[in-house]
C-alpha cells in the first residue's frame, strides 16, 4: 500500500532529492556487468530566462523607421507645395496643326492657362478642343516647367454628297463636316437619285467608304477606266460611270476583292475579244452570277391625238368631164370605172380582171 503522506511537504522545506536509478538490462545481468546509476539533480535542468522570449529592437531599426516617416512627410509636403504654389504653373500654351480653327480658339477652349503643371487636366482640355467643329483629334503634352503643347488634327474633306439641289461635304468615313480643310480639286461628287429632298441630304457611309477605297487602291488604273460620275440609289447602291465603257454596279462594299477582280477580268476580255452585242451595264451585286445588260430598245412616245379629223386638200385639175365640148367641136367620152384588183390600162385607164 502506498504511503498517502509521501508527497506532503513541510513548510520551509524543499522537496527531497531522489536519485534516479536505471535498471540494468538483461545483457548486463547475463554477462555480470555492474549496474550503472545516473543521477539528475535540480541544478542540471535547463533554465529559460524571460529576457530571451521578448524580441529586442536595435537602435538601427528605430533610426530607419523614424527616417522613413520623416521622408514620407517631407515628400507629401513638397508635393503639396509644388501643386499649390506658383513655381509650376502653365505660362505658355503652344498650339500646332491648325489651318481652319484659330490658335486663340484652341488655347481658350483648353482653359489650361495658369493651371498647375502637376495637376493638369489633360482629358478635360482634350474633350473641349475636340468639340470644336473642325477638330478631329488632339494630343496634349507637358513641356516642363511652364509650357503645354497642343497638337491638333483637323478634319479633311474628301468628297461631296449631292441630293437634289442640296450638297454637303463629307470625309472618308461619310461623316458630314461643318468645317474642315478644303477638298482637293479632284474630289468626287456622289449624286443620290430618287431621294426625298424634303428630308435633306444624308450621305450613305458605306458608299463613301467604297468610293474612297476604289480611289485609294488604284482600281481604276488596273481596269483602265477613269470614272466620270458616281451615282447612288437606295435599291442599287453605287454605280460607277466611265466614258466609252459599260456602267459598273457595285452595290455595297461586300465581296470587294471579288468584284474588283471580276471587273478587271471582264475589261481585259472586252479589249481582246469585243462582245458581239453592245453591253451597257455590268452588275456585280450577285456574287459569281455577273449580269451583263444590253441597252434598252428605244421607245416611241405617242403624240397627242387630234379631236378634229384632218382632211387632205383636193387640188382641182384641168381634165374636162364627160360631155364637155372640145376645141375641135366634139365632146369627151366618159372613162370606164376600174374594178377591184384591176390594173391600169394604157392611157391612165385600169384593166379589170386582167381580160
At 140, list the grid cell.
Answer: 496634349
Arithmetic mean of pLDDT over the chain: 77
Residue 144 confidence (pLDDT) above 70: yes
Top-confidence range, 116-120, 206-210, 348-352: 206-210
CA dihedral 212, 216, 219, 221 (to 10 degrees): 130
Delimiting residues of CATH 3.40.50 domain(s) in the chain: 159-293
What is the CB-side half-sphere exposure of residue 128 using CA atoms within 13 A?
15
pLDDT of residue 343: 37
Distances from the Cα of 49 to the Cα of 41, 46, 52, 261, 351, angstroms:
19, 10, 6, 95, 166
The architecture in CATH of the region 92-154 reads Roll (3.10)
Query: What value does the mean pLDDT take over residues 161-179?
Result: 94
Distance of alpha carbon 108 from alpha carbon 123, whole angstroms? 15
pLDDT of residue 204: 96
pLDDT of residue 277: 85
pLDDT band at 57 (very low <50, low <70, confident <90, very high): low
Residue 49 confidence (pLDDT) above 70: no
Is 159-293 CATH 3.40.50? yes
Query: What value does the mean pLDDT take over residues 226-251?
Result: 95
- The CA-based angle 260-204-292, given to 5 degrees, is 35
pLDDT of residue 327: 46
- The CA-based angle 197-201-204, given to 5 degrees, is 120
**pLDDT per residue as tens digits for the range 253-297:** 999 999 999 999 999 999 999 888 899 999 999 999 999 999 877
| Higher pLDDT pick, 181 / 326 | 181
Residue labelled with grid coordinates 505658355: 92
What is the CB-side half-sphere exposure of residue 265 using CA atoms within 13 A?
9
pLDDT of residue 232: 97
Residue 333 confidence (pLDDT) above 50: no
pLDDT band at 147 (very low <50, low <70, confident <90, very high): very high
Percent of the chain with pLDDT over 90: 49
pLDDT of residue 350: 31
- The region of weakest confidence among 76-80, 154-158, 180-184, 307-311 is 307-311
pLDDT of residue 316: 43
pLDDT of residue 262: 95
Delimiting residues of CATH 3.10.20.310 domain(s) in the chain: 92-154
Query: What value does the mean pLDDT take over residues 186-195?
Result: 94
Distance between first and last Cα of the chain? 184
Amino acid at each position: 500500500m502506498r504511503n498517502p503522506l509521501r508527497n506532503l511537504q513541510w513548510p520551509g522545506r524543499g522537496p527531497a532529492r531522489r536519485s534516479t536509478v536505471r535498471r540494468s538490462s538483461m545483457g548486463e545481468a547475463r554477462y555480470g556487468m555492474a549496474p550503472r546509476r545516473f543521477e539528475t539533480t535540480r541544478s542540471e535542468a535547463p533554465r529559460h530566462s524571460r529576457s530571451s522570449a521578448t524580441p529586442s529592437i536595435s537602435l538601427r531599426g528605430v533610426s530607419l523607421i523614424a527616417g522613413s516617416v520623416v521622408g514620407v512627410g517631407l515628400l507629401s509636403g513638397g508635393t503639396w507645395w509644388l501643386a499649390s504654389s506658383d513655381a509650376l504653373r502653365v505660362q505658355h500654351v503652344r498650339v500646332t496643326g491648325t489651318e481652319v480653327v484659330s490658335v486663340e480658339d484652341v488655347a481658350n477652349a483648353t482653359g489650361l492657362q495658369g493651371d498647375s503643371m502637376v495637376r493638369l487636366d489633360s482629358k478635360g482640355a482634350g474633350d473641349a478642343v475636340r468639340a470644336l467643329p473642325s477638330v478631329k483629334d488632339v494630343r496634349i503634352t507637358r513641356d516642363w516647367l511652364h509650357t503645354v503643347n497642343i497638337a491638333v488634327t483637323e478634319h479633311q474633306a474628301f468628297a461631296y454628297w449631292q441630293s437634289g439641289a442640296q450638297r454637303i461635304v463629307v470625309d472618308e468615313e461619310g461623316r458630314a463636316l461643318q468645317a474642315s480643310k478644303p477638298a482637293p480639286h479632284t474630289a468626287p461628287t456622289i449624286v443620290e437619285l430618287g431621294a426625298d429632298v424634303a428630308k435633306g441630304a444624308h450621305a450613305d457611309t458605306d458608299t463613301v467608304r467604297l468610293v474612297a477605297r476604289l480611289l485609294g487602291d488604284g482600281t481604276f488604273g488596273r481596269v483602265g477606266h477613269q470614272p466620270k460620275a458616281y451615282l447612288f440609289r437606295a435599291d442599287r447602291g453605287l454605280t460607277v460611270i466611265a466614258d466609252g465603257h459599260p456602267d459598273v454596279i457595285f452595290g455595297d462594299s461586300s465581296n470587294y476583292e471579288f468584284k474588283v477582280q471580276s471587273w478587271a477580268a471582264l475589261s481585259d476580255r472586252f479589249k481582246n475579244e469585243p462582245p458581239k452585242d453592245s453591253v451597257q451595264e455590268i452588275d456585280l451585286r450577285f456574287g459569281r452570277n455577273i449580269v451583263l445588260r444590253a441597252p434598252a430598245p428605244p421607245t416611241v412616245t405617242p403624240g397627242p391625238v387630234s379631236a378634229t379629223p384632218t382632211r387632205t386638200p383636193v387640188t382641182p385639175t384641168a381634165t374636162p368631164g364627160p360631155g364637155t365640148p372640145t376645141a375641135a367641136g366634139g365632146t369627151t367620152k366618159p372613162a370606164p370605172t376600174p374594178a377591184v384588183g384591176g390594173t391600169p390600162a394604157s392611157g391612165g385607164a385600169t384593166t379589170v380582171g386582167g381580160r
